[in-house]
């Protein structure tokens, strides 16, 4: 049976590096231990914590934090075309991507270097450089809080959307993901359509998924702050999606406004809206926006969750005043 630790510091377990504490904490390493702890503590608020790279703690957590360290990967089925592989929730995401790339299995290489665990990857349907993890998920495995039965949730029932899923909404705090099953290609097709990616990729000696992984890592390292040096959660906000009509009106006022077509409407880079509102590189006390990427809020040292939240609200208000666009948080506020 896993030990329950009282008053556990979460400083190393959230990528903002905030000094907050959990009243109770446990890191079960098997599914049986995880279900048992959940069942025994149904009277407490329970938060499942992956690697804490998309969480903003506004203060100490008064309930039980469960940090599943369930590891392992297993091939379920394979033929000459594809491989179906199960990865358990505690596996590190980028370690898993590297493992797949090293085996020559394509599909996840554009998602290289995204922090976090495999178990969190479906929660906000992680995405980058023209790929979303939903494109490769066959099903998600897990259990409902209070039950022990492992359910298999097929992709179509996960309600995947841009930075969204059933696990971030209706089932938030209710469903615990124990493993994810992916479908990968043995004859990979390269996807180099996003922004500067094609240029960087073309400059590589070989044009394979390994080169794609290197290209993505290179671009990410040039733009995004390393959370080990500067606490952050990647994009703090989602990119807003507006209608073609709203976009037309904005374009008349702001002819240089960048935009990307998406299946829901027109996507506007929140980084641009924030930069144009004068917030790029600005700092209040120990938090501010990253000088190379205005969408990233950074803890420069001793910021608190509330100071970060206050800054983010100021940014939201400025963007709304200037553009009448509401930018919503991507980060999970606890
Ligand atoms: P956590 O922050 O620990 O948890 C996130 C949410 O998932 C919480 O609500 C938590 O309760 C829930 N959760 C975690 N595990 C489980 C589980 N097993 N079962 C049920 N619920 C669970 N994201 C992108 O999409 N694309 C990017 O390009 C990207 N770049 C980033 C760059 C940086 C530098 C950083 C710091 C973050 C970036 N992110 C990006 C955000 C982050 O990496 C992802 O959201 C990641 O999936 C979070 O994983 P985690 O394990 O740290 O989750
Ligand atoms: N831009 C600015 N100012 C900046 C930065 C960017 O104006 O400081 C504008 C530029 O016009 C640029 C555009 O914003 O072309 C897009 O920038 P970028 O390519 O860096 O991507 P993003 O929209 O800011 C999104 C994801 C990232 C993901 C990258 C690459 C969201 C909320 N963010 O960022 O995901 O890595 O694309 O695909 O969709 C995350 O979710 O945490 C995350 C980092």
Ligand 2 centre and the CA of 29: distance in Å?
Answer: 35
pLDDT at 195 over 90: no
Across the chain, what does the average pLDDT equal?
Answer: 96
**CB of residue 162 inside a 6 A radius of ligand 2:** no
Measured CA distances, 291 to 149, 152, 275, 331 (Å): 47, 43, 10, 20
Is 117 a catalytic site residue? no
Give CA 330 to chain center in angstroms: 9
Q: Which of 163, 183, 277, 303 is catalytic?
A: 163
**CB of residue 271 inside a 6 A radius of ligand 2:** yes
Read off the pLDDT of residues 231-249 as tens digits, 9 standing for 90 and up. 999 999 999 999 999 999 9
Does 232 fall in a domain?
A: no
**CB of residue 274 inside a 6 A radius of ligand 2:** no
Phi/psi at 264 (5° precision) = -90, -20
pTM greater than 0.95: yes
Q: Ligand 2 test: best mutation among 134, 165, 295, 322, most atoms within 8 Å of CB?
A: 295
Does 121 fall in a domain?
A: yes
Whether 54 and 176 map to the same domain: the answer is no
Query: The domain that contains 291 carries what CATH number?
Result: 3.90.78.10
Whether 165 and 214 map to the same domain: the answer is yes
Whether 209 and 279 map to the same domain: the answer is no
Ligand 1 centre and the CA of 256: distance in Å?
Answer: 32
HSE on the CB side for 327, CA within 13 Å? 29
Read off the pLDDT of residues 15-73 as tens digits, 9 standing for 90 and up. 999 999 999 999 999 999 999 999 999 999 999 999 999 999 999 999 999 999 999 99
Structural domain boundaries, residue 21? 5-66
Ligand 2 centre and the CA of 196: distance in Å?
Answer: 12
Read off the pLDDT of residues 103-161 as tens digits, 9 standing for 90 and up. 999 999 999 999 999 999 999 999 999 999 999 999 999 999 989 999 999 999 999 99
């Amino acid at each position: 049976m896993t030990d329950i630790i009282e008053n556990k510091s979460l400083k190393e377990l959230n990528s903002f590096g905030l000094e907050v504490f959990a009243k109770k904490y446990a890191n079960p390493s098997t599914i049986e231990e995880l279900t048992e702890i959940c069942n025994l503590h149904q009277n407490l608020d329970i938060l499942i914590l992956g690697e804490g790279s998309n969480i903003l703690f506004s203060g100490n957590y008064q309930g039980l934090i469960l940090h599943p360290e369930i590891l392992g990967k297993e091939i379920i089925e394979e033929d000459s075309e594809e491989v179906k592989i199960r990865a358990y929730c505690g596996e590190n995401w980028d370690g898993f991507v590297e493992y797949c790339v090293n085996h020559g299995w394509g599909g996840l290489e554009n998602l290289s270097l995204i922090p976090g665990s495999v178990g969190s990857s479906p929660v906000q349907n992680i995405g980058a450089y023209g790929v979303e993890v939903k494109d490769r998920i066959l099903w998600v495995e897990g259990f409902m809080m209070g039950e022990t039965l492992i359910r298999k949730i097929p992709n179509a029932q996960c309600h995947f959307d841009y930075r969204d899923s059933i696990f971030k909404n209706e089932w938030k705090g209710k469903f615990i993901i124990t493993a994810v099953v992916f479908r990968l290609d043995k004859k990979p097709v390269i996807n180099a359509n996003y922004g500067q990616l094609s240029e960087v990729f073309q400059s590589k000696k070989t044009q394979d998924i390994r080169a794609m992984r290197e290209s993505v890592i290179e671009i990410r390292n040039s733009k995004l702050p390393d959370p080990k040096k500067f606490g952050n959660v990647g994009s703090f906000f989602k990119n807003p999606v507006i209608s073609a009509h709203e976009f037309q009106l904005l374009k008349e006022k702001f002819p240089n406004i960048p935009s990307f077509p998406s299946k829901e409407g027109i996507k506007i880079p929140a980084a641009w809206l924030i930069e144009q509102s004068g917030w790029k590189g600005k700092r209040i006390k120990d938090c501010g926006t990253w000088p190379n990427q205005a969408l990233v809020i950074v803890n420069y040292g001793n910021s608190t969750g509330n100071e970060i939240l206050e800054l983010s609200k100021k940014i939201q208000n400025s963007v709304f005043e200037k553009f009448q666009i509401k930018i919503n948080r991507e980060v999970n506020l606890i």
